[in-house]
Structure 1
């Protein structure tokens, strides 16, 4: 019995398949895949968490329960951080646009969005203070100036570093959502 989901010789019906696994526009979805740098970073954090969990078990078996609880709490915080790193990015739905960062989440209803534009500007490299020349997807809101809002996506973020075609596809997808729902 052939397994078509594991082989490359199946026929591709791109017109009949949606790019996303579901067509529910009310659910929040990321219009692009997380980049390899983001996934690799989260995997390293989870690897660190496995060592910390192992240490918690060893401390629980040989030491005090309070010390093991403290180390277990550290492991849970590291796991939560890894999951948050995976959730970071831009999410869209029929309700609006959501920008998830490491410590904050900002949601903008579509009625407040004027436009979403790609601009050539200095951007932060991997979120660090160092800036390099790149492209950024900027959100133009009715109630704020463009300079007050951080860029939604950049070519030098964890998702798009050394992947300019993926940035272009993601920026186009967010711009399409903004054009479709931003007529508020």
Structure 2
């Protein structure tokens, strides 16, 4: 079973205009980068905890009351759901727009609503924590309204201590925006 949310469909040499993979949907959402080791490691530890919880639920069901086993099994299911959502977090693109997936929310912007996507030097959060460090961020300037939070940063869980993948992801995002963004009220997707 292919885990499409774990793979990047764009190599360093490919461009957003390349034909989609034969098994991919032409209008599907794609992540332009692979999840980083911090994100994958956190999900792996969470799944390990879920495995221990499931084993505990079986032992409790065999030795004790079923309510304790049910609560433990529900905690395991919640842990698995959290780990999968953690892996799904990030930025996704399609010909329809740009989608930012968080732990509890998802926000989608159509390309025609985006004024500019660019990489800037600015203070960024280290691994999403309150601590800020100087780094690079890919930011969106919408056509109307105030600028949004940075899309991706070089100090996020996907790119910490990985400058080359960050540069490739930033280039791919800027290329997608340049190709699909509607300039001045033309065609819409």
TM range (shorter): 0.7 to 0.9
**2: CA distance between counterparts of 1:26 and 1:104?**
22
Note closer, same or farther for the CA distance 1:19–1:43 as it changes in structure 2 (3 Å cut): farther
Give the SS at the match of 2:119. strand
| Length-normalised TM-score, structure 1 | 0.86
**2: CA distance between counterparts of 1:53 and 1:150?**
38
- After TM superposition, what 4+ stretches of structure 1 lie above 3 angstroms from structure 2? 18-25
Deviation at 1:35, TM superposition (A): 1.0
Conserved 8 A contact 2:20-2:26: no
| Length-normalised TM-score, structure 2 | 0.83
**2: CA distance between counterparts of 1:176 and 1:25?**
17
Alignment of 1:164-183 (within 5 A): 164-183=163-182
CA RMSD after TM alignment: 1.7
Aligned counterpart, 2:157: 158
Note closer, same or farther for the CA distance 1:20–1:134 as it changes in structure 2 (3 Å cut): farther
Alignment of 1:1-184 (within 5 A): 21-22=21-22, 24-146=25-147, 149-183=148-182
Q: Across the two proteins, how many residue pairs are aligned to each other? A: 167
